[in-house]
Structure 1
Amino acid sequence: MEIVPLGPGFAAELRGVRLADVAADDAVYAVVRAAFEEHSVLVFRDQEVTDEIQLAFSRRFGPPEVTKVGSQGTGSHFVTLSTIGPDGKVVPADHRLSLRSKANQLWHTDSSFKRVPALTSILSARIIPARGGETEYVSTRLAFERLDAPMRDKLESSFAWHDYAHSRSQIAAGLATPEERAALPPQCWRMVWKNPVNGRSAIYLASHAYAVEGMEAAAGKKLIEELMEAATAPGTSYLHPWRRGDVVMWDNRATMHRGRPWPAHEARLMVRTTISATEVDGVETMRLPSSQAAE
């Protein structure tokens, strides 16, 4: 197996390995898991991907999420990210599927709005547009390390509130349905997630974050915006140009990502599996000690 660095201080391509190898071989999995902890974003090119192979690979890293209400794939372990309607045609720009794709163009980390956040997401390319539709990543671990010491100390004892409806409202009012709002109440997480394997810390934020526990609303919003801006500064990202057969996995504890636009008339079909974080992944250290909501 060859590990080829890709991004500015994070992200790597793993060559000479198949998803099925990782699923079946403990030694191969151990190498890939170590690379995941080190590089945060891993790229696997030219994979023969089926739902069964992707799920077997995903289970190696922990328990797969059950897809939430309101998503394509609800009740399964797969999230279907598609702008193809039931008739096989690309839906119009104002269709809910298109608006949800647009919401994914906000910087975010997956599942920070859930009762159990995500360790990793695994995304496979099934149908891709001729141009555009890349996924862009930044390392919130490196962003944390760029902060001055007083700010790092402050964030390590701070908590932020995350809400799915908040991020969706930035695209269109009512994009989050009443059923989604009921199933996904706001969650509060520590603003720094320390990796239990290597001890490195990362800012834990997303477009879902809307308030800082214990801070006045405007001040908390300002802090979140400043941290998001610093984490996504020019020159700090890795932009992944998709090819059919690509699989990319990323550490939701240590990165943010966003989709990039593509021509509205072109189809795009991606399939994502998401692995829940466990106590082994440090999730217990992230929980707010009290259950009081931010004002």
Structure 2
Amino acid sequence: MHLPFATDASFSHISVNPIHPTFGAEVREVDFSKPLTDEVFSEIYSAITKYGVLVFRNTGLTDEGHIAFAKRFGELDDITPYLALGRKNRLKYNELFDVSNVEFDGSILDPESPRGQGNKGNGLFHVDSSFNPRRAGYSLLLSHELPPPGMGGATAFADTRTAFDELPVDLKADLVANDYVAAHSIHHSRKLAAPEFYADRNPLDYPMGRHKMVQRHEPSRRMNLYIAAHIHHIEGLGPEASQKLFDRVFTHCTQAKYVTEVEWKQPGDLIAWDNTCVMHRACHSLELGQSMNVYLWWP
């Protein structure tokens, strides 16, 4: 199998090594100790357009460097609205989102705490911020501290462009003909992951993001399945039909042949991905790091 991408990309300023037959690559020969030239960033952008997921090892990035790199992709998200009422941001900048298991005072997060329960949803395949009206484009996750070797440390990704290409004929025809819109809710995915803790939470009591399930991925011009565990229902269908269709598409997209796991090896490792052509999930709850989302800038 080879990569079916819309436009060929050649690389002379960076080294790009695929990590899966259809998507994902490790990028080398990028010097983050100084501002990236336009030529280098252009090739990084071409690589993420082609592969969807890029892995950069031992970057040495500071918080400021992390933010500067993310800004090259577009407008940054502000994490302030995501902070629970009264919770302080442990990190210096509001562009950085704390995805660690560390509390503000440096103690280890209690997995039974509200934040710990909410974090369980990160273990479900999803795309960032699909529960908002404006989708997130790119996410850049930088590791700062990792669990000891052998105790886990990976993020899984699913290739939703190739999954669209290889849909069963009848399912693809149904999705394309009906142009379904799905309603995404963070309360729904949290309830799926921690049903007892969120037993009294009704996702319908909260706003949802509504997005088409089949979309064109504009940078590559390939079609994509925009799907996530955040999906509460598919509009225009009854509950049973909605769940049946979602389950069929989601199960198709998360087959082993469309999934790769990226191991976090050392502090300074960074993974960048495009939420509009891949899903991701945490393979455990121990990785310590910080990320930021970049808003979409294409129509």
TM over 0.5: yes
Question: Contact 1:82–1:269 at 8 Å: present in 2 too?
Answer: yes
Calculate the aligned-residue CA RMSD, in Å. Answer: 2.5
TM-superposed CA distance for 1:62, in Å, is 0.8
Q: How many residues end up aligned between the 2 structures?
A: 273
* Inter-CA distance 20–119: structure 2 relative to 1 (3 Å threshold): farther
Question: Contact 2:70–2:292 at 8 Å: present in 1 too?
Answer: yes
Correspondence 1:251 to 2:270: no
Per mean C-alpha deviation after superposition, the further-off stretch among 116-125 and 190-199 is 190-199
* Inter-CA distance 18–221: structure 2 relative to 1 (3 Å threshold): farther
* Distance in 1 of aligned mates of 2:43 and 2:77: 24
Q: Which amino acid aligns with 1:158?
A: Y
Question: Contact 1:125–1:245 at 8 Å: present in 2 too?
Answer: yes
Correspondence 1:3 to 2:21: no
* Distance in 1 of aligned mates of 2:279 and 2:29: 27
* Distance in 2 of aligned mates of 1:116 and 1:177: 27
User: Equivalences for 1:40-189 in 2 at 5 Å?
Assistant: 40-67=52-79, 68-70=81-83, 73=89, 76-130=94-148, 131-156=151-176, 157-170=179-192, 171-172=194-195, 185-189=207-211
Query: Structure 1: which 5+ residue stretches go unaligned?
Result: 285-295
Find the residue that maps to 1:102 and give its secondary structure. Answer: helix
* Distance in 2 of aligned mates of 1:135 and 1:177: 30
What is the match of residue 222 of structure 2?
A: 200
Correspondence 1:15 to 2:28: yes
* Inter-CA distance 181–62: structure 2 relative to 1 (3 Å threshold): farther
User: Equivalences for 1:268-287 in 2 at 5 Å?
Assistant: 268-278=287-297, 280=298, 284=299
What is the match of residue 288 of structure 1?
A: none
Find the residue that maps to 1:122 and give its secondary structure. Answer: strand
Taking only the aligned residue pairs, the percentage that are identical comes to: 28
TM-superposed CA distance for 1:172, in Å, is 4.1
Find the residue that maps to 1:235 and give its secondary structure. Answer: helix
Per mean C-alpha deviation after superposition, the further-off stretch among 147-156 and 168-177 is 168-177
User: Equivalences for 1:210-225 in 2 at 5 Å?
Assistant: 210-225=232-247
* Distance in 2 of aligned mates of 1:275 and 1:150: 35
Give TM-score scaled by structure 1 length. Answer: 0.85
* Inter-CA distance 121–99: structure 2 relative to 1 (3 Å threshold): same
Q: Which amino acid aligns with 1:228?
A: F
* Inter-CA distance 121–31: structure 2 relative to 1 (3 Å threshold): same
What is the match of residue 234 of structure 1?
A: 256
TM-superposed CA distance for 1:100, in Å, is 2.8
* Inter-CA distance 191–77: structure 2 relative to 1 (3 Å threshold): same
Query: Structure 2: which 5+ residue stretches go unaligned?
Result: 1-13
Find the residue that maps to 2:47 and give its secondary structure. Answer: helix
Find the residue that maps to 2:224 and give its secondary structure. Answer: strand
Q: Alignment partner for residue 49 of structure 2, among 37, 47, 61?
A: 37
